[in-house]
Amino acid sequence: MRKYLEFAIFEYKYSLRYRANRIFSVLSDILRFLVFFFLWKTIFTLRGTGWGYTFNQMATYYLIVTFLQSSTPVCWSEFSTFIRTGSMANFLVRPVNIYLLYYFRVAGSKLAYISTSLPVTVGIFYFFNRYFTHPHGIFSIFWMMFFWLAGGFIYYSFTYLVEVLGFWFEEVSGFSTIFFLIQEVLTGAIIPLDILPGRKLLELLPFKFVAYLPMQIYFGRVNTVTILENAVILILWLTVVSSVSVLTLKKGLKVYNAPGG
């Protein structure tokens, strides 16, 4: 485990070298939040209600979800490029688990983003406090972070599976684009899942753990029994998706010829 942590620390330090990139990433997320903020402010003004949410809850939802979504590790598109160009061979000659190694790499990069964006998010929450809702309690914060972290690993696994398709397809950018568009909806990043039609079906999928469910816990809308039930479901999803990810890599390596490697 030490070698993976060292790899994450290296990526964290490396990412901090690009300060301008970090700043612009945070600014883009602030603009994203402001778009949703004023959109829902207009909707509440015209409609007078928010489908079971107050305006303060909706503003809080998008502020925190924007942070959580942007801080969740994803498998970068360079992974499939490594496969296509033969650079994957550089990983194969080392005694490491590629699936975990790459997770810790992107996690280190996301940690650099968090160190920049978290103070900004907290600052917005503090200075514009009248627009936001405080967490239901200390345990809600604990369970919120638990689901986000574990759900983020599931999310990483899905993006990893998309990139591993590079063993069988010359170009997977189309798959990646479609997946990222779909996940924006399925995680609840665009709109809370309980507002969408077919919410029961959407809530059966594991993407809710990244954003939607953590926010429902934050607001105190989920009781202890339901939280524990979802924890079991999350662990099952995590076991299945991580196992499939490892097996898919092994299958891919059987057809891999390391072009240009």
Q: Mind listing the pLDDT tens digit for each residue in 80-133? A: 999 988 888 888 887 889 999 999 999 999 999 999 999 999 999 999 999 999
Q: Which residues contact 186 (CB under 8 A, 6 or more apart)?
A: 193, 202, 205, 207, 208
pLDDT band for position 62 (cuts 50, 70, 90)? very high
Tokens of 25: 């990433």
Q: CB within 8 A of 216, min separation 6: which ones?
A: 194, 222
Give the Cα separation of 191 and 252 in Å (integer): 36
Question: 42-51, 110-119, 214-223: which range is least confident on average?
Answer: 42-51
Rounded to whole angstroms, how far apart are CA atoms 162 and 154? 13
Q: Are 108 and 11 in contact (CB under 8 A)?
A: yes
Cα dihedral across residues 34, 122, 183, 219: positive or negative: negative
Cα four-point dihedral sign 68, 192, 156, 232: positive
Q: Locate 250 and state its tokens.
A: 């092994």
78, 91, 170 from 85: Cα distances, Å: 10, 13, 10
Nearest to 1 by CA among 101, 139, 131, 150: 101
pTM, rounded to two decimals? 0.93
Q: Phi and psi for 98 in degrees, rounded to 5?
A: -60, -40
Residue 261 pLDDT greater than 60, yes or no: no
User: Binning pLDDT at 50, 70 and 90, where does residue 226 land?
Assistant: very high
Question: Could you give the CA distance from residue 150 to residue 85 in angstroms, rounded to a whole number?
Answer: 32
Condensed to tens digits (0 to 9), the pLDDT of residues 163-213 reads: 999 999 988 999 999 999 999 999 999 999 999 988 889 989 999 999 999
Position of tokens 């503003």? 59
Sign of the alpha-carbon dihedral angle for 216, 221, 226, 228: positive
Tokens of 107: 């996690």
Say how many CA atoms lie within 13 Å of 22 toward its Cβ: 20
Distance CA 223, CA 200 (A): 17
